[in-house]
Amino acid sequence: MGNPAGIDQDRLLEPHDWTFPVPIAYGPGRLSEIGARCAALGASNPLIVTDRGSRDLPFIAELSGYLSAAGLESQVFSEISPNPRGDEIGAGCNVFRAGKHDAIIAIGGGSAMDGGKAICLTANNDIDLWAFEFEQPVPDVPADQPFPTLITIPTTAGTGAETESTAMVTHVEKGMKFCIWHPDLKPALALLDPVLTVGLPPHLTAWTGVDAMTHAIEAYCVPEFHPLCDGLALEALALISQWLPVAYREPDNMAARGGMLVGSCLAGIAFLKGLGMVHAISHMVGAEYDTQHGLTNAIILPVVMRFNLPDMEVKTRRMAEAMQVADGRPVGLVMAVERVLDDLEIPKSLAEIGVPLDCVERIAEKSLHDSAAGTNPVAVDLNTARQLVEQAIRKAR
C-alpha cells in the first residue's frame, strides 16, 4: 500500500507529547466583545501593546473605546519597532508597572505580538529577558510573580503569532534575533476578527500572506512526528493558496480576509514543530538591516525549497495537492510557489531590498545559531549556508 503519509513507521512505536493551543474567537466584528472578554478573565486595567506604525490606526481607538465602554481602564504602549528590540521591551515593562496594569492586549502585526509577549514574560519578575532564550534552560518563575493575562489580536494574516508565547527579539549589541519564550505563558484568548485586516495595503497583504505560506511549508517539512501540526500545516496551505491571491486583488473581500486569517493562525500553530533555513536566514537579515520579516521570508523561500525538497517526494506531493498544483514533483512545487511570488510582485533578490553581498559570511554564520536552523529537514553546514545566503542576495528566483 505504500506510505501515503510519508511517516517513518518507527515513529509510531515511540512515545510523543503533543499540545494544542489556546481558546480562539473567530469572526467578523468580534473585537466588540473585548470588554466582556477581559472582564471574564479578571482583567480590569490592560496595557495595549502595538507597534509605532499601528499607533494611529483606527483599530487602536476602537479597542480603547470598547474597553472604556465596559468600564475598564487601559493605556497604549506603542514604542515597538518592526523588529522589536530588547531595550523597547524593558521600556514596556516600566510602563506596565507604573500603570499598575494587570493584563496585556497585543494588537497588530508580528512585531506587536512579539513585543506584547516579551513584555508579558518580564513585566512581573526581575528575570533578565535573555534568560528566556529558547535554547537556554527554562527560567524558574516564582509562583507569586505570575505572568500577566495575555490577549492577542492579530491585524495581519501572516505571522500566526497569536497562539503561542514565542517572540523574536533583537539583541542590539549582538546584532542578532533570538527566540524567547516560556512554556507557562499562553495567551488566555486569541481574537481573530477579519474586519481588522481589511485596511491592510496590497503590498502588506502580500508580504504577510507569504509569511504564513512559509510557516506552513517549513513546519510541514520539519521531520518531527507531530500529526496535529502536519494536518494544520496542510489545511493552512490549502486556505492560503486559495485566498491570498483574492485578498491581494480584492482587499475588501471579507471571505478572503477570513480565509487568510484562519490559514495564518493554523500555520502559526503548525510551527510548534519548528521552522527551517528560510527563517534562520531571515531572522538575521532582519536583525541587521531591519527588513520586513514577511517580505524577507518571501524572497528567500524558493532558494531554501530548491535545497530542501529533492529528497522529500511524499511531502512535496501532499503540499502540491493542498495547493492544487498538478505537478507534484519538487521542481513543480517550487515553480508554483515562484508563480505566486511573481503574481504578488515580490522582489526577486535580497539585493533589491538593500541587503549587500558583503554580509554573506556574517549572515551565514549567525543563521546557524538560530533555533530554526536546527529543525531544517536537511542538515546545513557553514558552506551550504553561505551558498543559500548568496543565492538569496544575488538571484533568489
* pLDDT (0 to 100) of residue 292: 93
Q: Where are the domains of the chain?
A: 24-197, 200-394
- The three cell numbers of residue 281 are 536566514
| CB-CB contact of 189 with 25 (8 Å) | yes
Three-state SS for the chain is: CCCCCCCCHHHHHCCCCCCCCCCEEECCCHHHHHHHHHHHCCCCCEEEECCHHHCCCHHHHHHHHHHHHCCCCCEEECCCCCCCEHHHHHHHHHHHHHCCCCEEEEEECHHHHHHHHHHHHHCCCCCCHHHHECCCCCCCCCCCCCCCEEEEEECCCCCCHHHCCCEEEEECCCCEEEEECCCCCCCCEEEECHHHHCCCCHHHHHHHHHHHHHHHHHHHHCCCCCHHHHHHHHHHHHHHHHHHHHHHHCCCCHHHHHHHHHHHHHHHHHCCCCCCHHHHHHHHHHHHHCCCHHHHHHHHHHHHHHHHHHHCHHHHHHHHHHCCCCCCCHHHHHHHHHHHHHHCCCCCCHHHHCCCHHHHHHHHHHHCCCHHHHHCCCCCCHHHHHHHHHHHHHCCC
Give me the tens of pLDDT residue by residue for the chain, a chain 397 residues long.
467 666 777 877 788 788 777 899 999 999 999 999 999 999 999 999 999 999 999 999 999 999 999 999 999 999 999 889 999 999 999 999 999 999 999 999 989 999 999 999 999 999 999 999 988 999 999 999 999 999 999 999 988 999 988 999 999 999 888 999 999 999 999 999 999 999 899 999 999 999 999 999 999 999 999 999 999 999 999 999 999 999 999 999 999 999 999 999 999 999 989 999 999 999 999 999 999 999 999 999 999 999 999 999 999 999 999 999 999 999 999 999 999 999 999 999 999 999 999 999 999 999 999 999 999 999 999 999 999 999 999 999 9
Name the residue with cell 507597534.
51
| CB-CB contact of 148 with 103 (8 Å) | yes
- The three cell numbers of residue 242 are 486559495
Greatest C-alpha distance within the chain = 64
| CB-CB contact of 233 with 266 (8 Å) | yes
Q: Identify residue 6 by its one-letter amino acid code.
A: G
* pLDDT (0 to 100) of residue 210: 98
* pLDDT (0 to 100) of residue 5: 67
Residue range 24-197, CATH number = 3.40.50.1970
* pLDDT (0 to 100) of residue 11: 78
Quote the radius of gyration of the chain (alpha carbons, Å): 20
Crossing angle of helices 202-221 and 277-289, rounded to 10°:
140
* Residues shown for the chain: 397
* Positive or negative: CA dihedral 8, 13, 14, 15: positive
| CB-CB contact of 85 with 172 (8 Å) | yes
Half-sphere exposure of 47 (CA within 13 A, CB side): 28
- Residue 347 sits at φ, ψ, to 5 deg, of -55, 155
Q: Identify residue 60 by its one-letter amino acid code.
A: I
**Superfamily (CATH H level) for 200-394:** Dehydroquinate synthase-like - alpha domain (1.20.1090.10)
* pLDDT (0 to 100) of residue 165: 87
